[in-house]
Amino acid sequence: MTWLPVLLIFFIGAIVGSFLNMLIYRLPIDESIWKPRSHCPMCKKTIQWFRNIPLVSFVIQQGKCAACNESISWQYPVVEFITGSIWVICFLIFVPMHAAMTALFSSVLIALAWIDMKTMMIPLSLIISGIVVIVMSVIMGTLKWKFVLWGAFAGVFVPLVMMGITYFMTRRQGMGWGDIQLGLILGAWLGPWNMALTLFLAALLGIIAWLGISMKKGFDRNRPLPFAPYLVISAVTIFFLESNIGFWFDHFLLL
Ligand SMILES: [Zn+2]
């Protein structure tokens, strides 16, 4: 692909990222996602369309709201950039239909992980959105239903067993029910084996993060840690690596 379509896809992804930012802001506070147009979280002024261009507006306005001059959270450009990049990766390595489904599913995961990171909650509406994309993928033929069902089973069953063992040993609930729901859609997307690998990698990342935070802020047995970000990072990494290990070697390492 030449740079122009790549840039175009990046920009479409960044627009989706801008929509995800709105979801990240509104879903946890139960604000309607349809009604009021984009507005500044500080001064509540409506943002005109030409000041709402993903990444570009942030750079031009030097990270400040045009109306009240308050700083805009770094979350906005970061989510737009990550989403744009993932869309580009999808369309570079998959055929268009597969790329579109993967890009959509990854976008749902980005919003979900970010909301869990901020609020320790996973909105059910995003789990349902994930299920809708998976059903669409089965209809479009990019996922096989048998693979989806076995994966979903593994994604629920293995975390439930892990939760049971954790509870038996520590009398604490290690994971939340939201994580089990997330396991359901991740398993359906990844299939059983990659789901097992994802859980293992996510637990490892979670433990490393927990140790890091404990060393910085002091040891606290009860410190809660959102698990969805680690699950999502692990799932996306394993999905892209497993799908295209050959591609990555060809294009980046052996050039
Ligand atoms: Zn403002």
The pLDDT, as a whole number, for residue 169 is 82
Average pLDDT of the chain, as a whole number: 90
pLDDT category at 118 given cuts 50, 70, 90 is: very high
Mean pLDDT in residue range 84-95: 93
Which residues are found with C-beta within 5 Å of the ion, ligand 1?
Answer: 40, 42-43, 65, 67-68
Does position 104 have pLDDT exceeding 90, yes or no? yes
C-alpha closest to that of 49 among 62, 37, 40 = 37
The domain locations on the chain are 1-93, 97-255
**Which of 37-46, 69-78, 239-248 is predicted with the least confidence, judged by mean pLDDT?**
239-248
**Which of 111-125, 163-177, 196-210 is predicted with the least confidence, judged by mean pLDDT?**
163-177
**Which of 161-170, 183-192, 246-255 is predicted with the least confidence, judged by mean pLDDT?**
246-255
pTM over 0.75: yes
Radius of gyration, alpha carbons of the chain: 19
pLDDT category at 248 given cuts 50, 70, 90 is: low
215-243 pLDDT, tens digit per residue, is 888 887 777 788 999 999 999 999 988 86
On whether the CB atoms of residues 131 and 185 are closer than 8 A, the answer is yes
166 CA to middle of ligand 1, Å?
Answer: 46
On whether the CB atoms of residues 40 and 70 are closer than 8 A, the answer is yes
Mean pLDDT in residue range 59-81: 93
216 CA to middle of ligand 1, Å?
Answer: 34
47 CA to middle of ligand 1, Å?
Answer: 9
Output DSSP code: residue 221: T
How far apart (Å, rounded) are the C-alpha atoms in residues 128 and 149? 16
C-alpha closest to that of 183 among 137, 240, 218, 228 = 228
Mean pLDDT in residue range 71-83: 95
The pLDDT, as a whole number, for residue 172 is 74
Give the H or E element holding residue 70. Answer: none
Percentage of the residues of the chain whose pLDDT score is greater than 70: 94
The pLDDT, as a whole number, for residue 224 is 76
Does position 255 have pLDDT exceeding 60, yes or no? no
76 CA to middle of ligand 1, Å?
Answer: 14
